[in-house]
C-alpha cells in the first residue's frame, strides 16, 4: 500500500531533516551543564577582577573613600554574595586546573612529563601563590 508522495519531495531530491537546536540544548546532559556553569563562572571572574580594581581606585581616592568601600563590603548581603563568589571562583579554578594535563604536553628531551606530574604541578603553583598572598595580607595586618 504505497503512501502518497510528500508535497516537498521532488524525485531524486529528498529533503534532509535538520534537528532544530533548542535554546536549552545544554540541559540534556550532566557534562554539558557542568560546561555551561564553568563558562558562566568567567563572568564572576570578571566581576572579581573589577572588584579588585575598584579597591585600588578607592585607595587612590583617599582614606574616606576606602572606608566607605569597606563599609559596603561588610554589609551582610554583600558578604553572602561574595562567599558565593568565592565558590564560583574555586569552581572555575579547579575545573581549569583539572584540564591542564589534557592540554599540556611537556617534554624534557625524549621523556614525556606524566599527566599526574602536570596536574600536581599546577595545583602546587596555585597553592604556593595563594599562601604568598595570604602571608602578604597577614603581614600587612
Partner 1 sequence: MNSVAVEVLRYRPETEEEPSFEVFDVPYEDNWMVLDAINHIKDQMDGTLSYRWACRMGVCGSCGMMVNGKPVLTCATYVEDVLPGPVRVEPLRGFPVVRDLVTDIRDFMVKLQRVKPWIIREEEKPLAEGEYLQTPEELQDYKQYSMCINCMLCYAACPIYELDPEFIGPAAIALAQRYNLDSRDQGREERMDVLSQHDGMWGCTFVGDCSVVCPKKVDPAGAIQRYKLDATVDWFRSALMPWRKR
Partner 2 sequence: MHTVNHDVLLIGGGGAGLRAAIAVAETNPGLSVAVASKVYPMRSHTVSAEGGAAAVIRPEDSLDEHAYDTISGGDWLCDQDAVEMFVREAPEEMLRMEHWGCPWSRKPDGTIATRPFGGMKTERTWFAADKTGFHMLHTLFQTTLKYPPISRYDEWFVTRLLVEDGRCQGAVAVELATGEVHTILARSVIMCAGGGGKVYPFTTNANIKTGDGMALAYRAGAPLKDMEFVQYHPTGLPFTGILVTEAARAEGGWLVNKDGYRYLQDYDLGTPEPRPVLRSMELGPRDRLSQAFVGELKKGRTVETRYGHVVYLDVRRLGQRVIDEKIPFVRELCLKYEKIDPVKDMIPVRPVVHYMMGGIHTDLQGATSIPGLFAAGEVACVSINGANRLGSNSLTELLVFGARAGKAAARYAAGAPAPSRSVLAQGLQEEARLQKQFLGKRGGRERMADLRKEMQDTMEASAGLYRDGATLKAGTEKVQELKERFCDVVMEDPSLTFNTELQTVLELENLLDVAESVLHSALARRESRGAHQRTDFPERDDQDYLAHSLAYATAEVPRIDYLPVTITRWPAGERVYGRAAAPEKGGK
Residues that bind partner 2 (CB under 8 A): 2, 11-14
Q: Which of residues 12 and 24 has its CB atom nearest to partner 2 in the complex?
A: 12
Kind and range of the H or E element at 38?
Answer: helix 30-61
Q: Is 25 in the site for partner 1 (CB under 8 A)?
A: yes
Shortest spacing between CB 28 and partner 1, in angstroms: 7
Residue whose grid cell is 558562566: 40
Which residue in 78, 58, 61, 80 sits closest to 69, CA to CA? 58
Region label for 10, one of left (φ > 0), alpha (ψ between -120 and 50) or beta (otherwise): beta
Shortest spacing between CB 129 and partner 1, in angstroms: 21
Q: Is 22 in the site for partner 1 (CB under 8 A)?
A: no
Nearest-10 crossing angle of helices 30-61, 63-73: 150
Q: Is 24 in the site for partner 1 (CB under 8 A)?
A: no
Residue whose grid cell is 621523556: 111
Shortest spacing between CB 95 and partner 2, in angstroms: 31
Site for partner 1 in 63-92 (CB under 8 A): none
Q: Which of residues 14 and 81 has its CB atom nearest to partner 2 in the complex?
A: 14
Amino acid at each position: 500500500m504505497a503512501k502518497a508522495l510528500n508535497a516537498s519531495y521532488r524525485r531524486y531530491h529528498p529533503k534532509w531533516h535538520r534537528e532544530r537546536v533548542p535554546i536549552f540544548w545544554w540541559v540534556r546532559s550532566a557534562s554539558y551543564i557542568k560546561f555551561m556553569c564553568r563558562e558562566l563562572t568567567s563572568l564572576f571572574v570578571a566581576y572579581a577582577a573589577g572588584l579588585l580594581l575598584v579597591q585600588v581606585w578607592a585607595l587612590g581616592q583617599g582614606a574616606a573613600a576606602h572606608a566607605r568601600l569597606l563599609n559596603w563590603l561588610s554589609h551582610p548581603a554583600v558578604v553572602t554574595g561574595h562567599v558565593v563568589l568565592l565558590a564560583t571562583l574555586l569552581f572555575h579554578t579547579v575545573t581549569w586546573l583539572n584540564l591542564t594535563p589534557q592540554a599540556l604536553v611537556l617534554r624534557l628531551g625524549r621523556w614525556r612529563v606524566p599527566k599526574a606530574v602536570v596536574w600536581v604541578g599546577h595545583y602546587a603553583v596555585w597553592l604556593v601563590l595563594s599562601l604568598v598572598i595570604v602571608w602578604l595580607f597577614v603581614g600587612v595586618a
